[in-house]
Structure 1
């Protein structure tokens, strides 16, 4: 079994594979847009549909460049994709800041609305940082499948698959070295979920300074949401 898997890798090297599916990234982005639109108006820094409209305008050409599979990498594609993630993350962190300000200085009494808003901000935080990790690590989703490993930028994250090639056979066969495995959006969303719940890395370790900085910002934002916002909302309910 191990030989046949290895042979399959040799016949179909990673840089000749079909790229990662476009649909999961589109769905994640649309969910983040919807969560932002559904926030209370007092948490928004602009009219409700201004930033979501901008995000959708950035998403359209990204889908046009790679409608089904992420196989084409251009400078425009890279700039647009990073700009989209930046806007989603920045607008959500701003909403979190406004939410905390409302709690501390405005005497918000609607505990139910506050709990819902806190959950929306927390979920958007997971999506935004998951997309950021996905876009940055090893040159982005296109480079990870379309470029030979020796041409990839240095990794921002070390996944368990990157180091388990010496484990038992059924585990080692899926390792990066043996199967030419690369992470997809689901893997980065998982990293984002665990970082937002454990407030620290779990089985995936940040390697670069920017990865550590992003994970630190996400952990602090998640911690503030969990401890300050939800605790305040619960106290209002009681």
Structure 2
């Protein structure tokens, strides 16, 4: 059986060329940079702590699969899950502390600083969930490339289109998951890509709730400060 055999079905359901790592690596670097520049009261421990941990894990993962993600080992999968756990912890803590500070009296009367912190956390929310969606859909990027799980957690529109409307070798890559996370956070609901599994539905609901709460509270507080 070969990857070009028509009997194998669409690319997203069969073994294909391994996905490139650089889009996810850049996203992690951007996340670390945002965490570094957040106010101290919105970060876990020293501002450098989580960014250093994230970048250190990221370097190990890049060294194992520098260009395309072909090497599948339990230790590497554990590191990838550790990375998303650290990223998720940092984002969750920043969201909670931002909401807490707004509700109890934010430390600064400067609306620009408040909007800047809120915007940073809003972007962190999108980037965090894009990595989470990418890392867990059908077992992660390496498993998707191997075609081991035919049941998707996210139904992309290309998966339901006829052959004359989508390339036969189409399969979801990181930028597709980034787009899903972006539209879910801005529309506060799924748009063109539907969650199928329960964890995917819960994750998208949580991302929307965080985005809505962050945007509403930050804007309301900033308007009140300006007034």
Compute the TM-score of the two structures, normalised by the length of structure 2.
Answer: 0.90
Q: CA deviation at 1:9?
A: 3.5
Q: How does 1:206-217 map to 2 (within 5 A)?
A: 206-217=195-206
Q: 1:201 corresponds to which residue?
A: 190
The alignment status of 1:28 with 2:37, answered yes or no, reads no
SS in structure 2 at match of 1:69:
coil
User: Residue deviations 1:15-74, cap 9 Å, x none?
Assistant: 664311111111010000000111011111201111111111211110111001111111
Q: 2:159 corresponds to which residue?
A: 162
User: Residue deviations 1:196-232, cap 9 Å, x none?
Assistant: 0011111100011110111111010000011111221
Question: 1:89, 1:138 → 2: CA distance?
Answer: 20
Aligned residues: 220
Q: 2:113 corresponds to which residue?
A: 113
The alignment status of 1:220 with 2:209, answered yes or no, reads yes
Q: 1:4 corresponds to which residue?
A: none
Question: 2:203, 2:61 → 1: CA distance?
Answer: 24
Q: 2:42 corresponds to which residue?
A: 43
Q: Is the 8 A contact 2:94 2:121 kept in 1?
A: yes
Question: 2:205, 2:96 → 1: CA distance?
Answer: 16
Question: 1:97, 1:233 → 2: CA distance?
Answer: 18
Distance 1:187 1:117, change over 3 A: same
Q: How does 1:83-232 map to 2 (within 5 A)?
A: 83-107=82-106, 108-145=108-145, 147-148=146-147, 151-152=148-149, 154-165=151-162, 169=164, 171=165, 173-174=166-167, 179-232=168-221
Q: CA deviation at 1:75?
A: 0.7
The alignment status of 1:82 with 2:81, answered yes or no, reads yes
Q: Unaligned regions of 5+ residues in structure 2, if any?
A: none
Compute the TM-score of the two structures, normalised by the length of structure 1.
Answer: 0.86
Report which stretch shifted further, 225-234 or 209-218.
225-234
Structure 1 consecutive aligned stretches of length 4 or more whose deviation exceeds 2 Å: 8-11, 13-18
What's the C-alpha RMSD, in Å, of the aligned pairs? Answer: 2.0
Question: 1:153, 1:42 → 2: CA distance?
Answer: 44
